């Protein structure tokens, strides 16, 4: 192999895109959580005008960002203790930074939204973090664990998050990486522009009780 070829190969590898650094969620196969078991405490509706579900993906040549526009759910609070999150996402509301990619993501190669119109996340464990581990997000206050279902494939995911609770209002932030292959999103991309398996998920969730909202309007 000539020196020129080696140089071009090295330059190509150095230019490869990725989703950046971040904590990787622990993932275990699980049965879909379709139970209607109630969480303890009050159900606070997620404020979709303030909340965001975003993602970052990458292939060899570039990164793409996007998210979901339509979702709804509740956060459950027992006093000052978070007891549950139940979130349903409209899969067809996925968006990206290019129209062509958005259409492809809705197709059978990815989310197959006509067959699987919804994704769901139901979290039931919120372990406080006294001192953030060096391998985790430095701002994290809790390890959150729950069942994430996409394309009828369910896995328990555990990831660090920052949770703030004050006066009946909950704000949660998370930024972590998952492997799309574990939810059956296996489309490889083009032979000369393969898609990375890693997807970065960024969550910003705000929920508050109706009593607090009413007081703020006065």
Work out whether strand 71-78 and strand 63-68 pair parallel, antiparallel, or are unpaired: unpaired
Residue 5 counted as domain residue: no
Residue 4 counted as domain residue: no
Residue 119 counted as domain residue: yes
Q: Report pTM.
A: 0.85
Residue 7 counted as domain residue: no
Name which of 25, 18, 19 is nearest 161 in CA terms: 25
Check residue 53 and give its pLDDT.
98
The CATH number for 26's domain is 2.40.128.110
Q: Is 168 in contact with 209 (CB distance < 8 Å)?
A: yes
Q: What is the pLDDT of residues 87-102, one digit of tens each?
A: 999 999 999 999 999 9
Number of domains into which the chain is organized: 1
Q: Which domain holds residue 132?
A: 17-217
Check residue 6 and give its pLDDT.
35
Average pLDDT of 183-210? Answer: 94
Q: Is 164 in contact with 13 (CB distance < 8 Å)?
A: no
Mean pLDDT for all residues in the chain? 87
Residue 213: pLDDT over 50: no
Residue 19: pLDDT over 80: yes
Residue 39 counted as domain residue: yes
């Amino acid at each position: 192999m000539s020196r020129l070829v080696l140089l071009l190969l090295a330059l190509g590898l150095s230019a490869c895109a990725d989703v950046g650094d971040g904590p990787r969620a622990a993932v275990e196969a699980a049965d879909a959580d379709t139970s209607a078991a109630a969480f303890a405490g009050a159900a606070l509706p997620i404020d979709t005008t303030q909340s965001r579900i975003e993602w970052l993906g990458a292939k060899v040549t570039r990164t793409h960002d996007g998210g979901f526009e339509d979702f709804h759910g509740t956060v459950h609070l027992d006093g000052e203790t978070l007891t549950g999150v139940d979130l349903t996402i409209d899969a067809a509301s996925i968006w990206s930074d290019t129209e062509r990619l958005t259409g492809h993501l809705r197709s059978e190669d990815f989310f197959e939204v006509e067959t699987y119109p919804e994704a769901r996340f139901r979290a039931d464990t919120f372990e406080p973090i006294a001192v953030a581990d060096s391998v985790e997000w430095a701002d994290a206050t809790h390890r959150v664990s729950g069942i994430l279902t996409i394309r009828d494939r369910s896995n328990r995911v555990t990831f660090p998050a920052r949770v703030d609770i004050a006066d009946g209002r909950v704000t949660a932030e998370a930024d972590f990486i998952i492997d799309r292959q574990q939810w059956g999103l296996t489309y490889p991309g083009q032979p000369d522009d393969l898609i990375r398996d890693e997807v970065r998920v960024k969550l910003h969730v705000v929920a508050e009780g109706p009593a607090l909202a009413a007081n703020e309007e006065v």
